[in-house]
Structure 1
Amino acid sequence: MNGLVLSLTDRQPRHVQSRAIAAVILQRERERDHVRRIRTTGNSVDVEYRDTPATLDAWYRAQPIKPGRISPRLVLTADEKHLYGLPASAKLVDLRRMGDQLDHWSVSVFPVLHGYVVGVKAPAGGGGVGVMWRKSYKASDYAMRLSVEHGFPIQERYA
């Protein structure tokens, strides 16, 4: 009596096998990236950003203001940008001098030279932080995301 033993993967259709292979490759790449980050920074990324505020606006409000300055320094590391769902090339912009002063919180969209600045603007000149976007559809998507995250209306301002 002859018997043939088939593994579980051999019994799956080809498209399921290819998706499983792609998932395993992606998981291995993420593990390699995680190990590289630990080697370069000296500690785990998860541990390093455990106390990071949940939103970009909360991060901005938690930044210390150095003596002699009127606003915090707007610099994020690549890992922090990834944590907040921003592209690696994202540039932060202070919203303190942009647009009219409002009496309520809002998500503001400012058309500027070569793009759009989108961010959460505080009432009564409280400022805020915005992100520069070159493409209008990306700025619109980010404004919608901020509006849903914070529950604020979207205010578009044109100069």
Structure 2
Amino acid sequence: MSGLVLSIADRQPYDVQRRAVAAVNLQRERERDHVRSMRKTGNPVDVEYRDKPATLDAWYRAQPVKPGRISPRLVLTTDKKRLYGLPASARLVDLRGMGDEVDHWSIAVFPVLHGYVVGVKAPAGGGGVGVMWRKSYKASDYAMRLSVEHGFPIQERYA
């Protein structure tokens, strides 16, 4: 893309050429900073932290529900997955209808086919959002992290 910008700028006045070169250099510098940031912290520079809900469950509850649906669509960008400490390949699962209904908030661990679903389960059919994990130790670590973040007990339930 930068070659195309520079070739178009060659036919422009000197001031336009100078601004085009500066814009291309700035874009390259931002890309280098982005790569460095990803290597150091795992968090991208571009993502605004102030717009992020505090937890994945808060993000889920803030999603609009389209007419004709009973729950929001569970899709996160790769950058937002990293902000919530999830791997880029993480798959979100709606917890509505999984397991027994209880009268208190809890961290639920559901053994399912080919893995485990871990998430915050709301009382009385309130649903929630969970993350699918293939390895039991990763599911256990995520459940412990959620328990500490939210202050809820961990309950292993069978779907």
Give yes or no for TM over 0.5: yes
| SS at 1:45 equivalent | coil
Q: What is the DSSP-based 3-state SS (H/G/I as helix, E as strand, rest coil) of the residue aligned with 1:93?
A: strand
User: How many residues were matched structurally?
Assistant: 123
Gaps of 5+ in 2: 1-30, 38-44
Residue deviations 1:20-59, cap 9 Å, x none?
xxxxxxxxx9714279xxxxxxxx6243x42110100000
- Identity among equivalent pairs (%): 84
Instruction: Give 1:63's aligned amino acid.
Output: Q
User: 3-state SS of the aligned residue for 2:109?
Assistant: strand
Aligned to 2:35: 33
Opposite residue 85 of structure 1, the aligned amino acid is G
Corresponding letter in the other structure for 1:31? D
TM-score (norm 1): 0.72
Instruction: Work out the CA distance in 1 between the residues paired with 2:133 and 2:125.
Output: 23
Q: What are structure 1's unaligned runs of at least 5 residues?
A: 1-28, 36-43
Q: What secondary structure is seen at the aligned counterpart in 1 of 2:81?
A: helix
Q: TM-score, normalised by structure 2?
A: 0.72
Report SS of the residue matched to 1:146. Answer: helix
Residue 96 (structure 2) pairs with residue 59 (structure 1): no
- How far apart are 1:158 and its partner, in Å? 2.4
The one-letter amino acid of 1:45's match is D
Q: Which residue of 2 aligns with 1:98?
A: 98
1:73 aligned partner, one-letter code: R
Q: CA RMSD in A?
A: 2.1
Distance 1:30 1:55 in 2: 29
Deviations 1:72-128 (A, max 9, x none): 000000000000000000000000010000000000000000000000000000000
Q: Indicate the residue corresponding to 2:25 in structure 1.
A: none
Q: Which residue does the alignment assign to 1:114?
A: 114
Match in the other structure for 2:46:
45
2:46 maps to amino acid: V
- AA aligned to 2:56 is L
What SS does the corresponding residue of 1:85 show, helix, strand or coil?
coil
Distance in structure 2 (CA, Å) of the matches to 1:33 and 1:53: 25
Matches within 5 A, 1:144-155: 144-155=144-155
**Does 1:129 pair with 2:96?**
no
